[in-house]
């Protein structure tokens, strides 16, 4: 990783303190960009043993020894310690540095500088240390700004995507959140990257090039997101920054470390990575439905999320829930339960969750030989079972869950199919607790739902069936069920009578009474259409 916010040997030589000594670089001119961690001044023969690496060593040469062999050994030991540079002030000890010192420094690749004028080492040390501290402070300030933005995003209702997006914009490189075993949870890109550098495509290339246990590419920043398990080594996830658009420097790691702390809190609130992953799949399916993902790009992105349907048609399904309360971790339980329930079907499935909207979107591959109806029934059963296991369905809900199945098609139609199914699922609530609804048969309900706030709709319902509703509030038997059954069976009286457990004459009498109350002919197609619409619209209007 490149250095940033640190002082280099080159910069140290440019500062007034050392510049006043007329520095001359004798060796290691191509290593002057080494970072200076600290400055040390000393003359003792055992000085190398006191150093830890990264120091800029100031000396007059008294500890270098008088014999060439001792001088070479001293320089080699300094190089082995990994110091940044050796700066020797010429004077009483050396009028010019001996060849043995110069040759040893050149062989070790160590920057060697001689000062032709005397300088106060204390002033030089203070000056360089001030630069180092200021550099670190600048990095900390920039990293803290990112930390503050991430914190504000979470407090404002954001989550993992928002935190990763802030970090990706700051680093101008893609950022990923993966499980400890290498499964992708979330990805975020940046507009600053090259055209076509989609983060999911970048990730696909990365995973294809290595396994989770192999080292990441050079220049990658990997920061562990702590978990809540026992022991200091508990890891919930890993934050990965890839150097795609430009190099990653020290401040990017510092920002990632601070973002990892925030992500740990967010993930703990989500209870488990399964829910985070399910929400990520829900985001993908929602983006596809709303046209933010092009059909040509969708297969690759879905493949990264584990959904590879091949060339089979895609069946869009949406479950709409309206739970009174959602237990902690319930959406993760639902996604896992649905996946387990559908495992026996043997068809690829992508299950997402959208807790805010109370939706569960899915895409399934419709395998050859499998009927749409049969697959829809299996999916509906899996969704209901999963919702029950997760505690997301209550028998007392006023708006029970609705499962809506769209038309099967390719990726070009998948987004529109998901969008239509989601809208129809909202409109289907209150129609009854059927196993599943065909989106194609809910278009009238969807149209009425869009008109639900129009006062003309309530007026239409009152005109069409108001007298019948008034009768049922004060008289028995109630006649509305009779009308509903009659219309449901398309005017087939024998079937309606069986459904109502009535003899035919009783049904005829009730239908006649309904016609009198409403002043309409139940055999007239226009009247039947109006009554059908009124009954469907009734659940959307004030009672």
Domain of 407 in residue numbering reads as 276-449
Per-residue pLDDT, 196: 43
- Which range in 222-226, 313-317, 398-402 is most confidently predicted, on average pLDDT? 313-317
The alpha-helical segments, DSSP class H, found in 236-371 are: 250-270, 273-289, 298-304, 330-343
Which of 449, 467, 500 represents a domain boundary (last residue)?
449
DSSP 81-138: HT-SEEEEE-SSS-SS--HHHHHHHHHHT--EEEESS---HHHHHHHHHHHHHHHHHH
Contacts of 114 (CB under 8 A, 6+ apart): 23, 24, 26, 87, 88, 89, 90, 94, 96, 97
Question: How confident is residue 194, by pLDDT bands cut at 50, 70 and 90?
Answer: very low
Q: Is 80 exceeded by the pLDDT of residue 437?
A: yes
Domain endpoint, select from 88, 119, 150: 119
**What is residue 111's predicted lDDT score, i.e. its pLDDT?**
96
> What is the pLDDT confidence band of residue 192, given thresholds at 50, 70 and 90?
low
Please tell me the distance from the alpha carbon of residue 223 to that of residue 258, in angstroms, as a whole number: 10
DSSP symbol at 441: G
What pLDDT, on a 0 to 100 scale, did the predictor assign at position 4?
52
- Domain of 330, CATH number, reads 3.30.70
Burial of residue 168, with CB atoms counted within 10 A of its CB: 0-12 exposed, 13-18 middle, 19 or more buried: buried
What is the percentage of the chain residues whose pLDDT exceeds 70?
88
295 and 437 in one domain? yes
Residues 6+ apart with CB under 8 A from 396: 324
Lowest mean pLDDT among 122-136, 250-264, 296-310: 122-136
- Would you say 409 and 295 are in contact if contact means Cβ atoms under 8 Å apart? no
Report whether 479 contacts 517 (CB < 8 A): yes
**Domain co-membership, 302 together with 427:** yes
- Residues 480, 445 share a domain: no
Task: Looking at the structure, tell me whether residues 283 and 198 fall in a common domain.
Answer: no
CATH number of the domain that 257 lies in?
3.30.450.40
Mean pLDDT of 301-320: 91
Does 101 score more than 90 pLDDT? yes
Sign, CA dihedral 463-469-474-479, equals positive
- Within 8 A by CB and 6+ apart from 143, the residues are 251, 254, 255, 257, 258
Q: How many beta carbons lie within 10 A of that of residue 229, not counting itself?
A: 9
CATH code, domain carrying 479: 1.10.10.2840
285 falls within a domain: yes
213: in domain: no
How far is residue 309's CA from residue 314's CA, in Å, rounded to a whole number?
Answer: 8
The tens digit of pLDDT for each residue in 245-297 reads 888 888 888 889 999 989 888 877 655 567 778 888 999 999 999 999 999 99
Residue 35 lies in a domain: yes
The Cα 208–Cα 385 span in angstroms is 36
Contact 418, 288 (CB under 8 A): yes
Query: Is the same domain home to 334 and 425?
Result: yes
2 lies in a domain?
no
State the average pLDDT over residues 460-480: 90
pLDDT value at position 2? 43
DSSP assignments along 15-47, one per residue: SHHHHTT-EEEEE-GGGTT-B--EEEE---TTG
Average pLDDT of the residues of the chain: 85
Predicted confidence at residue 325, as pLDDT, reads 52
Q: Looking at the predicted structure, is the pLDDT value of residue 10 above 90?
A: yes
Q: What is the pLDDT of residue 400?
A: 54
pLDDT over threshold 50, residue 399: no
Enter the tokens of residue 178.
């993966």
Give the pLDDT score at 52. 87
Domain CATH number, residue 65: 3.40.1390.20
Answer yes or no: is pLDDT of 53 > 70.
yes
The alpha carbon torsion through 385, 387, 390, 395 (nearest 10 deg) reads: -100
- Residue 104 neighbours by CB distance under 10 Å: 23
Q: What is the pLDDT of residue 77?
A: 94
One domain for residues 377 and 521: no
316 pLDDT more than 90: yes
Nearest to 140 by CA among 5, 265, 39, 264: 5
User: Domain check: are 110 and 98 in the same one?
Assistant: yes
Final residue in a domain of this structure, among 60, 84, 119: 119
Confidence (pLDDT) at 183: 75
Residue 211 backbone class (left: φ over 0; alpha: ψ -120 to 50; beta: rest)? beta
Asked whether residue 260 falls in the same domain as residue 292, the answer is no
Domain count, the chain: 4
CA pair distance 455, 372, nearest whole angstrom: 39
Pairwise pLDDT comparison (447 vs 199), residue with the higher score = 447
For residue range 486-523, list pLDDT tens digits in order.
Answer: 888 888 989 989 989 999 899 999 999 999 999 998 88
pLDDT, residue 314, reads 95
So what's the pLDDT on residue 26? 95
354 within domain boundaries: yes
- 68 has pLDDT over 90: yes
88 Cβ neighbours under 8 A, 6+ residues apart: 59, 60, 61, 64, 94, 97, 101, 112, 113, 114, 115
Instruction: Examine residue 127 and state whether it is found in any structural domain, yes or no.
Output: no
Is position 386 within any domain? yes
> Is there a domain that residue 501 lies in?
yes
pLDDT, residue 536, reads 83
Query: Among 210, 231, 22, which Cα is nearest to 115's?
Result: 22
Angstrom distance (rounded) from CA 512 to CA 514? 5
What is the band of 398 on the pLDDT scale with cuts at 50, 70, 90?
very low
Same domain membership, residue 436 and residue 297: yes
Contacts of 184 (CB under 8 A, 6+ apart): 176, 177, 178, 203, 207, 304, 305
- pTM attached to this predicted model: 0.53
The mean-pLDDT minimum among 146-150, 197-201, 353-357 falls in 197-201
Alpha carbons 18 and 88: distance in angstroms, whole number: 11
Contacts of 140 (CB under 8 A, 6+ apart): 254
Domain identity same for 360 and 488: no
Name the one residue in this structure whose structure tokens are 């805010």: 356
337/399 same-domain check: yes
**pLDDT in the model for residue 271:** 59
> Phi/psi zone of residue 352: left (φ > 0), alpha (ψ -120 to 50 degrees), beta?
beta
What percentage of residues in the chain have a pLDDT greater than 90? 37
Please indicate, yes or no, whether residues 412 and 307 belong to a single structural domain of this protein.
yes
Helix (H) / strand (E) element for 200: namely helix 199-209
């Amino acid at each position: 990783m490149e250095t940033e916010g640190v002082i280099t040997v080159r910069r140290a030589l440019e500062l007034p303190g050392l510049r006043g000594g007329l520095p001359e670089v004798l060796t290691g001119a191509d290593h002057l960009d080494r970072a200076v961690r600290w400055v040390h001044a000393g003359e003792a023969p055992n000085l190398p043993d006191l150093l830890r690496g990264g120091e800029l060593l100031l000396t007059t040469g008294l500890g270098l020894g008088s014999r060439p062999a001792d001088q070479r050994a001293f320089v080699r030991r300094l190089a082995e310690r990994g110091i940044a540079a050796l700066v020797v002030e010429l004077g009483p000890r050396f009028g010019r540095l001996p060849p043995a010192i110069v040759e040893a420094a050149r062989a070790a690749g160590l920057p060697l500088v001689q000062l032709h004028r005397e300088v106060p080492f204390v002033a030089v040390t203070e000056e360089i240390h001030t630069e180092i501290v200021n550099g670190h402070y600048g990095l900390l300030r920039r990293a803290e700004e990112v930390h503050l933005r991430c914190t504000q995003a979470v407090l404002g209702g954001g989550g993992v995507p928002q935190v990763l997006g802030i970090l990706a914009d700051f680093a101008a490189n893609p950022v990923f959140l993966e499980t400890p075993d290498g499964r992708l949870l979330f990805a975020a890109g940046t507009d600053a990257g090259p055209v076509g550098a989609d983060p999911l495509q970048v990730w696909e290339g990365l995973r294809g090039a290595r396994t989770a246990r192999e080292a990441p590419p050079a220049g990658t920043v990997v920061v562990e997101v702590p978990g809540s398990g026992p022991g200091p080594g508990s890891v919930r996830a890993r934050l990965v920054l890839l150097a795609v658009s430009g190099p990653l420097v020290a401040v990017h790691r510092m920002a990632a470390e601070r973002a990892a702390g925030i992500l740990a809190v967010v993930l703990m609130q989500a209870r488990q990575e399964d829910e985070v992953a399910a929400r990520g799949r829900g985001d993908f399916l929602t983006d596809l439905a709303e046209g933010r993902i092009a059909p040509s790009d969708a297969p690759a992105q879905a493949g990264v999320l584990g959904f590879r349907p091949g060339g089979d048609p895609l069946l869009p399904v949406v479950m709409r829930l309206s739970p009174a309360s959602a237990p902690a971790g319930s959406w993760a339980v639902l996604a896992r339960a649905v996946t387990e329930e559908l495992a026996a079907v043997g068809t690829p499935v992508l299950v997402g969750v959208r807790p805010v909207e109370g939706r569960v979107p899915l895409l399934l591959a419709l395998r050859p030989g499998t009927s749409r109806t049969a697959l829809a029934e299996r999916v509906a059963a899996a969704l209901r079972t999963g919702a029950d296991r997760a505690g997301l369905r209550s028998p007392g809900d006023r708006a029970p869950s609705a499962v809506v199945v769209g038309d099967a098609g390719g990726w070009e139609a998948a987004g529109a199919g998901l969008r239509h199914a989601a809208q129809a699922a909202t409109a289907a609530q209150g129609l009854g607790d059927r196993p599943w609804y065909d989106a194609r048969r809910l278009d009238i309900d969807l149209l009425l739902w869009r008109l639900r706030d129009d006062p003309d709709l309530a007026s239409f319902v009152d005109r069409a069936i108001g007298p019948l509703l008034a009768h049922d509030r004060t008289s028995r038997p109630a006649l509305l069920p009779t009308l509903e059954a009659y219309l449901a069976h398309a005017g087939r009286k024998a079937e309606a009578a069986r459904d109502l457990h009535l003899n035919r004459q009783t049904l005829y009498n009730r239908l006649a009474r309904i016609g009198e109350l409403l002043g309409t002919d139940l055999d007239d197609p226009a009247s039947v259409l109006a009554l059908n619409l009124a009954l469907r619209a009734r659940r959307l209007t004030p009672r």
